[in-house]
Structure 1
Amino acid sequence: MTAELVRGQNHTLPQTRLEIRVSAGSPVVAGATLGDEHGTVRGTEWVAHPGSPRLPGLEVSRQAAADHRLAVDLDALPGAVHRVTVLLALPTGAGHPARFGAVAAPFVAVTGLDGTEIATFTLIGLDTESAVAALELYRRQGAWKVRAVGQGYAAGLAGMLADQGLDRAAELAASIQDAVASGLARSVAPPPPRTPDGERVRHPAGPAPAPADPAPPRPGSEPLGGPTTAPAPGATTGAAPGGTTGAAAPGAAGAGNAAPGAAGGGPIDYAHPRRQTSAPPPPPPTAPSAAPGQPAPPVAGDATGWSMDERLYNQIWGMFEDLARAVAAYRSAVDFAESRMEQELDRALSDPRHRMGGAGDLARERARDKCQDLTARAREVLDRDLAQLAAESAVVEPALPAPYAGWDNPVWHGYRVPMELPMALRLGELHLPERTDLRIPLLVRLPLERGVWIDSGRTASEAAAATGGDRLRRLAMDSAVTLAARLLAVYPANEFSVHVIDPAGAAAGALAPLTDAGVLAAPPAFGAGGVSAVLAHLTRRVDLVQMAVRAGAADSLPPDLDTGEHLLIVNDFPHGFDDRAVTQLRYLADEGPAVGVHLLMVADREDARDYGPVLDPLWRSLLRVTPVADDHLVDPWVGHAWTYEPCRVPEASRVLEQVLALVAAARRADPR
């Protein structure tokens, strides 16, 4: 979907090889400047303009025109460059308008090489300005974004260049206008044409690029859930520990490859020799290389991905899959050994001569020995795989960022409110009985694609049945509070709000960290009136945002509407709920996640059994977790029952209060 930006708005760029297309009502000069981490242009060699149209990773037009196509390869820019600003200016001289207010508003689009629009911006509101900084591509936390700027300059090109810190800006502006007036050369050629099968025609000067390996499938929003087609138990996979597939990188470019910016005529070859269209290969390991015949030492982030967070996410996913398949292979081998032993015993005992005497005992002993030998060999393989996964976990766990880390990870002591939303959030840990100390983080993608039901019933599991009812309800609410705190902590300031329905006021103690820090959107709602008010408020928000999205009229939303993400915590359900409230709750569970309203239920299903089929869809639509260890979750490959344990704050630790205090301070410093 194309992002239609307004002045000051930004959007994440999904790729780094781009075109910037400019359409104007009259000829304009198009250029671009490179800026360092402070936005400063360090010299004239950091300015692409008609007199010098090519820089590493950047090419602009050599003449004034009503339509331009600028070629950008962000990966080919110098390492010191953190910003690319696209500039538009009106040509000087007779016959040209002197101000942008006298011409149609320019339109700028950032597109992929196939022409798919990523973001667009119409530069409205210009008047006496004769030059304008249209938009900028900037690097933030390892990723590239585009921001709509629209900053005009009545002083023209010279004033704009001087504002970016360039010395002798007036001289460069004059030389740019002279180059335009002289008509030095052609404009940038359009992208190569597409063949009927969708492939681009490459520049004849370079060899055809090697076909890119297909990108690995993107992991789902969560590793556990509904029914999927799973391979047979014990099936092998090509993924090594860490989830990598070992895809080969494309071959190196030959000497004849013409990279963007190469001298000579003809169309640009957009196939940058150092760039892949599929996900990048794992980074080279930083640990010492392994001895011959030994597995490579584990490395944190040793998986595919464009950023360290994405590589760690994919590595955890790969560890989870590897553990599932390794245990499946072991269990399958044990089943085979036991089945073979039973078959051999049946054959031996079917012979009357073996039913009595030493022959029968010998046959039984041989069958059992074979079974034990097969089982021992299977266990040896499993122990080797588990040891490698344990070593990988020992390296990965300390390297996790705060959203992926447990509360006992020291990374939380250096916590700062983030500027951007991470990929995922840690919900708890998973393990199998074959090795209970090998824990795999359970990560859910953000924004949440489904709500969560924390089951506070004693019938949920054996561990729950052994826990007192009051203590179980307190643990369930504690889990809800820590999950809400993690969500507040990983969102940028004031982009996530938490609402609480506590009809009987039974959760006041558990809610104390949130209420004391002042991070709730409003005090917890009490009684039937409070339930009705909160549900009506959130239902109205969902209705309004849905209508605006469907009508393409986001600007028509009421000014008092908070468009950030919202979480509703419901405690003690169904106390205080009537039929209308239950219907609204189901509506929020079904329609809310798509427009940023998420549901967190803390309830015992047995208490709500009177609602029967009305509640069943709500129950099925939410991810059910428990406040105590439970093995009700299964993986999508071989169907193991994984033991889930929620994230708990260590005893006597103040990390939760410290994190919430920083969240509250950031919210006060940035009131929106």
Structure 2
Amino acid sequence: MIQLKAGQNIPLTADVIRFSAKASAALDVSALVVADNLRVFDTGDFVFYNQTEAPGVALAGDEVTVTLAQVRAEAKAVLLVVSADPAPLGGLGPVTVTLSESGTAAAEFAITPLAGETALICLEVYRRGEAWKVRAVGQGYAGGLAVLLTAHGVEVDHPGPDAHVQSAQAATPHHDDEGAITGPRPAAGAPLEMSHGVERLWMIFEDAARSAAALIAARDYADNRLDEELSAAVSDPAARNSPAGAAAREAAQQRHDDLIVVAEANHRRDSEHLIGELAAADDQLPPALASWESAAWDRPAAKADGIRLGELYADERGPLRIPYCVPVPLTRPLWIDTEYSAAVVPVVGALLARLRAADPTRRTRLDVIDLSGAFTGLVAPLLPLLNGPVVTDHSEISARIKALADQAELAEMAYGSDNFTPPTEHRVLLAADFPHGYQPVDAQRIGALMLRGDLIGLSIMIVGTDESDSEDETIAVLSQASRHLPTITDTPMFDPWTGSAWHLELDLLPPDPHRQARLLRVD
């Protein structure tokens, strides 16, 4: 049985597959049949306990069976999902899912949610040409099954976190007062579904990663074969300096060079295609996901399902640069690794601009802890958004963080008593200079906010040195659970599909004050 890792995919060999899952919490399994835009087609495409069948997909007890030949022809994929109702405190915990073919367990995928997720897309069974493959996904939703369903075009009775799904219907397009089409787009038509921009950009990233891995593998193979052939050519001392030996070495080198030429041509072809695809997408993407040069920043704000953090590149593999994006709301804190807060002011400015742009329908409120005063200039135009004065004295840190933690705890209590109201504001906590000046209880409360902050619409940014190896266990765990953004040039990152190395160039807020005001939407 194959032990899958996140992002890994394998071909399916049987027509009938079965999906099951186990965890310490009682789990519900379900499935979504989706189109190219990763949204359902209609009412019948969500298979769950109140609707146990769709063409080719059936739920029986705690197992989903997919008969691939019977899945609707226009479907792109079947998403296999687990959730818990009621949601356990702290999230699902470790989940192990099993995929069986012809009655035999073929693959297993262990998922360890880090941010209190209560619903997971575990596996994606998807078409690749005439064949079918399965990909290990492990994408979590701290907001629960209702948020997961809404993101894929399903309307539910109660849209709050971890809502109990009484009934479901596919969201259908409708016209707003100005006549514009809203809601999910049809499966055919536009090549990029912008309400799922993050997922589409990650698909492009996956294509780039696999092309890069093929190039790396071809180079390694050509180099290794050249070494072996050259060794063989000189193994006979009598022929080492003969014309035959020289010819053998030249032939080996030519074979090596020919392999490299073909591999680089294939990679260049792939890269040129992806560069064109990204260029076309950039003008369509909402601002939070688009480049600073995109016309999207000159148009009215548009909601996005994520934010762009920067670009991934590898100079030794050519000019392709892939947007590195993460979903919003942030379910993990963004931790900007630096010893000097002043050095990352443009990085934080870019993140604030994109977080603001991600959901223009909600007011943004900022809580800023800035002991060194590094962010004074950045925060000045954002004063109307501040939730109280900037914290500049270490003695005031605990009170500010406690206030946020208390609000999240009250929201959790309200949710537990069915009095929960989804947040109407986007809260952002910027905790700079961490952990200097912070008390141990502050780290504990930030950890608690990581688990339940989504109940008050909170995103967290931490600025400080990487504390993953801290002797303080609470700080170490918080650091390990965060998404780290390296600021040291050429720090390698590794894609989740092939393990190929990439470098991350973080987005920086442009220095021109007038342009900053436009990007921060404060002019």
Percentage of matched positions with identical amino acids: 28
* 1:320 aligns with one of 199, 205, 212: 205
Q: Using a 3 Å threshold, how does the CA distance of structure 1 residues 197 and 427 change in structure 2: closer, same or farther?
A: closer
Matches for 1:259-298 after TM superposition, within 5 Å? 283-284=188-189
Kept in 2, the 8 Å contact 1:590–1:621? The answer is: no
Shift of 1:631: 3.6
Distance 1:196 1:637 in 2: 27
Question: Does residue 613 of the first structure (1) align with residue 502 of the second (2)?
Answer: no
Aligned residues of 2:426 and 2:457 also touching (Cα < 8 A): yes
Residue pairs, 1:124-139, within 5 angstroms:
none
Partner SS state of residue 320, structure 2: strand
How is 1:152-551 mapped onto 2 (pairs within 5 angstroms)? Answer: 211-213=71-73, 215-216=76-77, 245=128, 283-284=188-189, 301-303=190-192, 307-310=193-196, 312-416=197-301, 418=302, 421-435=303-317, 437-457=319-339, 473-515=341-383, 518-551=384-417
Corresponding position: 1:635 with 2:495: yes
Classify 1:552/1:435 alpha carbon distance in 2 versus 1 (closer, same or farther; 3 Å). Answer: same
Q: Which amino acid aligns with 1:530?
A: E
Mapped pair 1:573 → 2:441: no
**Partner of 2:278: helix, strand, or coil?**
helix
Matches of residues 55-134 of structure 1 in structure 2 within 5 Å?
Answer: 116=50
- For 2:516, the aligned partner's letter is L
Q: Residue 484 of structure 2: which of 613, 624, 627 is its match?
A: 624
CA distance in 1, matches of 2:252, 2:47: 65
TM-score (norm 1): 0.51
Residues 628 and 645, structure 1, Cα contact 8 Å, conserved in 2: no
Backbone CA RMSD of aligned residues:
4.1
**1: CA distance between counterparts of 2:520 and 2:489?**
26
Q: Determine the C-alpha separation between the residues in 1 that align with 2:213 and 2:57.
A: 46
Distance 1:15 1:354, change over 3 A: closer
* Alpha-carbon contact 1:484-1:498 (below 8 Å) kept: no
**Unmatched 5+ stretches in structure 1:** 2-13, 20-110, 118-190, 200-208, 221-227, 231-242, 249-269, 272-278, 285-300, 458-468, 664-672
Distance 1:367 1:654 in 2: 60
TM-score, length basis structure 2: 0.64
- Residue 329 of structure 1 deviates from its aligned partner by 0.7
Contact 2:289 2:354 in 1 (8 A): no
C-alpha separation in 1, matches of 2:367 and 2:436? 17
Question: Structure 1 stretch 443-452 or stretch 587-596: which is displaced more?
Answer: 587-596
The residue type paired with residue 388 of structure 2 is A
Compare the two structures and name the one with the higher strand fraction. Answer: 2
What displacement does 1:504 show?
A: 3.8
Deviation at 1:430, TM superposition (A): 1.3
In structure 1, the residue matched to 2:512 is 652
Q: Is the 8 A contact 2:76 2:127 kept in 1?
A: no
Cα distance in 1 for partners of 2:53, 2:469 equals 64
Distance apart, 1:423 and its partner CA: 1.6
For the structure 1 residues 373 and 509, does the alpha-carbon distance in structure 2 shift closer, same or farther, using more than 3 Å as the test? same
Shift of 1:642: 1.4
Q: Is the CA contact 1:408–1:649 (under 8 Å) kept in the aligned structure 2?
A: no
**Corresponding residue SS for 1:415:** coil
Q: How far 1:508 sits from its partner (Å)?
A: 1.4
Say if 1:376 and 1:498 are closer, same or farther in 2 by CA, change over 3 A: same
Amino acid at match of 1:621: A
Q: Which has the larger radius of gyration?
A: 1
- Deviation at residue 540 of structure 1 after TM alignment: 0.4
Q: Alignment partner of 1:365: what SS?
A: helix
Q: Match of 2:261, as an amino acid? A: A
If asked which structure has higher relative contact order (CA below 8 Å, sep 6+), I would say 2
- Equivalenced residue count is 386
